[in-house]
Chain A
Amino acid sequence: MTQWIEACGAGDIEEEDLIRFDHDGKTYAIYRSPSDEFFATDGLCTHEKVHLEGGLVMDYVIECPKHNGRFDYRTGEALAAPVCVNLTTYPVKVEGGSVFIGID
């Protein structure tokens, strides 16, 4: 059963940026794309478990702030060394100005 958890207000994230969201002992990254869509992934880079929060979002790519590993945050796909393991992604919906992520 997917549980929908309210993560933040849609206006809390700047366009082409991300914020951190912690819930139930896990940490996530919530993204707002340049085309005003929302996405969610695990918060920690798959290379050295650094939080992606301080990383740079350019178009649909999040780059880890520590060692510049890159992921497509829509699919979680690892795009460039040193990362080779994909990020887990989560479904997102926006309702009433709030962003919800779907967690199994």
Chain B
Amino acid sequence: MAGMVIIGAGECGVRAAFALREAGYEGKLTLIGNEPHLPYERPPLSKSFPVEMKPIAAEQAFAEIGIKLLRGVTVAQIDPEARNVLLGDDRTLAYDKLLIATGARARLFPGMEKALTLRTVDDAKALLGAITGQTHLAIVGGGFIGLELAATARGLGAKVTVVEAADRLMARAVPVEIAAVAAERHRAEGVDLILGEQVVKANENSVELADGRVIRCDLVVAGVGAVPNTGLAEAAGAGIANGIIVDHAFRTVVPNVFAAGDCCAFPYRGRNVRLESWRAAQDHANHVARAMLGDETAYAKSPWFWSDQYELTLQVVGLLETDKPFHRRELGDGGFILFQTDENGRLAAAAGIGTGNAVAKDIRLAEMMIERGSAPDPAKLADASVNLKALLKG
């Protein structure tokens, strides 16, 4: 038996390795990571200083259950005919089943090549280590990473400017009402938000805007999305369309080759979606591990995201259509949840923002309702005196 091989030792690859053992797989299991570090959690990197490297699992935990972890090793090529992978150091490694969990890399638009990006712990150490109370940091992109970084940099006393091409923050991910709360909070903190303005060039110490303005600063970071790492899969014959195309059990069209996590585009409620999500990476991992062992059950978990900015936390579950109406539930203390139902009245998505963990319980209940196909009365969703748990159980 050649065993299982996993390319990518991020959240998805690591969880898949553990999930294979939890599902009873006893054969050979190799996990290949291109970073030299013990696999670590990425979400804290933009959220806290000093930069903490939080291992996903202790080093001995891999050895204890027989996961062979290759660190600092790249993969050059997959040979699906011979069923092996060629490593960067010219070794070949045979597989019975292969999981591609190569994640995504920071996107840079033309003209932004000199900007810093934040993806790895080394990126975070270099970037946050350079920020002091005297620093003027310019951030290109008003999405989750840019805004979390803005909040962290303000905590270090830096002057922060954020430039966003859309006319509001987090346009891809959250409803306008939630973006407005975040924008107000950043402005109260002294962050200079420049919305609806294109960046034509990002230099090491300045950002040039389409209207001719030049922002002079000490550091420039781009947080303008991520690009899935699909090269290996594409060369091996997998279909690619904004990610490695997989079916309901994370199978690519290449026999014995699976893909999961940020690198894959998977079917969700009639469309193909690609997520950049820590939770989805885990959910995919748990599912694909069973699929690699022959289980053909369809994946049915809903997308789930969160972001922390200052004392605010926002959470989103399901696929939002930000231009469609919401049912709003007030939580007190300024927190609120927006629910969205589909054309059949079934709950499709929910997004909330509030202090600390104010929205967590209701978003979790919304997630359970979405996955059960519940069609709750919109008036009850909007009525804070109605316990959502009762709605779920009702």
A residues bordering B, Cβ < 8 Å? 16, 48, 50-51, 53-56, 63, 65-68, 81-82, 84
Q: Inside 8 A of B365's CB, which chain A residues have their CB?
A: 56
Which partner residue on chain B sits nearest A65 by CB separation? B360
Please tell me if the beta carbons of A63 and B357 are within 8 angstroms of each other in the complex: no
Main secondary structure of the interface of A (DSSP, over half): loop
| Contact for A54 among B41, B44, B358, B389, CB less than 8 A | B358
- 24 residue pairs A–B, Cβ–Cβ below 8 Å: A16-B389, A48-B44, A48-B54, A50-B357, A53-B357, A54-B360, A54-B361, A55-B360, A56-B361, A56-B364, A56-B365, A63-B364, A65-B361, A66-B306, A66-B313, A66-B357, A66-B360, A68-B279, A81-B15, A81-B18, A81-B282, A82-B282, A84-B57, A84-B61
Please tell me if the beta carbons of B357 and A65 are within 8 angstroms of each other in the complex: yes
Q: Inside 8 A of A66's CB, which chain B residues have their CB?
A: 306, 313, 357, 360
Main secondary structure of the interface of B (DSSP, over half): helix
Q: Inside 8 A of A68's CB, which chain B residues have their CB?
A: 279, 364
Q: Is B190 an interface residue (CB 8 A)?
A: no
Q: Is B356 an interface residue (CB 8 A)?
A: yes
Contact mask for chain B residues 355-370; partner A; CB cutoff 8 A; 1 contact, 0 none: 0111011001100000
Q: Inside 8 A of B357's CB, which chain A residues have their CB?
A: 50-51, 53-55, 65-66
Which partner residue on chain A sits nearest B387 by CB separation? A14
Which partner residue on chain B sits nearest A14 by CB separation? B387
Which partner residue on chain A sits nearest B356 by CB separation? A54
Bound CA–CA A82/B44 (angstroms): 14
Bound CA–CA A84/B54 (angstroms): 13
Most buried by B among A53, A55, A68: A68
Bound CA–CA A55/B357 (angstroms): 8
Instruction: Report the 6 A-B pairs with minimum CB-CB distance, sorted nearest first.
Output: A54-B357, A65-B360, A65-B357, A56-B364, A56-B361, A54-B360
Q: How far is the CB of A19 from chain B (nearest CB, A)?
A: 13
Q: How far is the CB of B21 from chain A (nearest CB, A)?
A: 12
Q: How far is the CB of B391 from chain A (nearest CB, A)?
A: 13
Q: How far is the CB of A63 from chain B (nearest CB, A)?
A: 7
Q: How far is the CB of A34 from chain B (nearest CB, A)?
A: 10
Q: Inside 8 A of B361's CB, which chain A residues have their CB?
A: 54-56, 65
Most buried by A among B18, B357, B389: B357
Which partner residue on chain A sits nearest B18 by CB separation? A81
Bound CA–CA A63/B41 (angstroms): 19
